[in-house]
Amino acid sequence: MNLNRITRAALAAGLALATLAACNSNGAKSENDNGVVTIKWQGYSQERLEFYREAAAEFRKEFPNINVVPEELAEADYKQALPLSFRSKNSPDIFTFTWPAAGEYFELADVIGNKWAAPLDDSVLPADFRSRFRDTSNLMEPIYSQGGKIYTTPRPPATGTIGFGYMYFNKDVIAKAGLTGKLPATWAEFTAACQAVKEKAGASCLAQSTQGPDEIERLLTTFVGVNKKGYTPSKVSLQTGKFTETSDPQFVEALQYIRSLYEQQYVFPGQYDKIAARQAVVGGKAAFYFDGGWMSSVFPQTFKFKNFGVALPPAKTTAAPGGYAGRIAQGPPLPELFISSQSKHPKEATQFLEWMTRPKGWFSEHFTAKGFDLLPWIDPADAAKWLPKDNLARELLPLDPKVHVLAPVPALKCPDLAKSEAMSKVDRIQENLVHSTVNKYLQSGGDWPALAKGIEDKQNKVFEAQLSKEAASGLKVSTDCYAEPDWDGLTPFKFSK
């Protein structure tokens, strides 16, 4: 046991808590002699603190009686300090909560269970407030509301800026290969492009890291996600509700195609991480790279590389996106900001959240202009107008609806999954078995259907036994929670009935 590390962590949490207690609106006088109310707003986005202070000053121009004070701690310190602040009755008026113990989509369940959150004050919300937030069913889903009361405002999708799933390329390499204006849209075209890159540009066609689950998933989610109906990174099939994803014929065929690129030596060689894969593209040693929307900022900011383009991933036989078998799944935007149950000024806190989420308001425009992320309450046309001129995320905006789709979320179908240990028990027994086996297969080949069947048998034995045990104890859980066989994988899933 590392006592020094524990001591440092405890000291950091204590200092963070002391900061909260010293200046929090609940532990000190929160209204001055002129009737000005002070609202503490706390989270862990330290890189945005100066902007948040600008926003607070702008907000006060319209609401001179409300003084919003943003405070941002380091994430590790904040995670320790927030529970302590509630225990000491010194919580911030508005707080960020994004790491529920049961996993994504259980944020509201956690804060309600802890008695941390108060609902937004309906009396100061405009009639159109619920309709601001796309893909939320007007905030009626139980991840946002309870008893008809709104408890949170959502953040950008967890998959990052404009989601997962794009094909990036080095424009110089593409030009040398004679592919400018002729980017591959099908598997056959991608193979032909790889041959041209190898022969004419003297480079590898594809650079893609396979070190670790997260690294491999960048490739699987992007490539397999549009070539299989209803692909899920969890590998629990939406068709069966069981671990049958990796033996699904569409998954098998897509993985076998990627293996063919390795066999023909079109992939940048070696075992490497995402940094090395990206550097290969930046340095002209590879043409293509599959990843998420965040690369529109990572390439120019981290690698000082701007001569890249972005396109749709290829489809099997018919040009993308018409030939896609499915689209990359995204759920509703996740909860983020809550009003403390200990706040003495929930009305004023609500007024700030309402002001912050105005689709054409100051916060929306200037947050986007800073290039932080794309907010779930602004129109894509406004985003394109407000984004910095050198932020190539604007090129992703027209591609976004072609590769992404609102997909079923088991947690919304079966809230008792918050109490289930079935997935975590599978994780413990498989120890990333799927991804490590995918890696070995891509590098060395083998009989993938047989490999997949062996993995799935182990997973399902644990998965089904645990769900049955939990159902017998009274939880409303089963494999049916994970199954939506009627969903076509291409059109947005309808959550609220």
pLDDT digits (tens, 9 = 90+) for 327-347: 999 999 999 999 999 999 999
pLDDT at 178 over 90: yes
Residues 205, 174: Cα–Cα separation, whole Å: 10
Which residues have CB under 8 Å from 61's CB, separation 6+? none
Pairing of strands 328-330, 37-43: unpaired
pLDDT digits (tens, 9 = 90+) for 235-256: 999 999 999 999 999 999 999 9
pTM for this model (two decimals) = 0.86
For 355, other C-beta atoms within 10 Å of its C-beta total 19
pLDDT digits (tens, 9 = 90+) for 369-382: 998 888 999 999 99
Instruction: Indicate the pLDDT class of residue 470, thresholds 50, 70 and 90.
Output: very high
Q: Are 255 and 441 in contact (CB under 8 A)?
A: yes
Which residues have CB under 8 Å from 378's CB, separation 6+? 359, 360, 364, 368, 386
pLDDT at 398 over 80: yes
Structure tokens at 139: 């905030």
- What H or E segment, with its residue span, contains residue 118? strand 117-118
Contacts 24+ apart (CB under 8 A), 273-282: 273/209, 273/211, 273/212, 273/215, 274/209, 274/211, 274/215, 274/218, 276/207, 276/209, 277/207, 277/208, 277/209, 278/207, 278/303, 279/303, 280/204, 280/207, 281/168, 281/169, 281/170, 281/207, 281/308, 282/170
Residues 486, 65: Cα–Cα separation, whole Å: 53
CA angle 367, 158, 252 (to 5 degrees): 140
Instruction: Indicate the pLDDT class of residue 173, thresholds 50, 70 and 90.
Output: very high
Q: Are 118 and 161 in contact (CB under 8 A)?
A: no
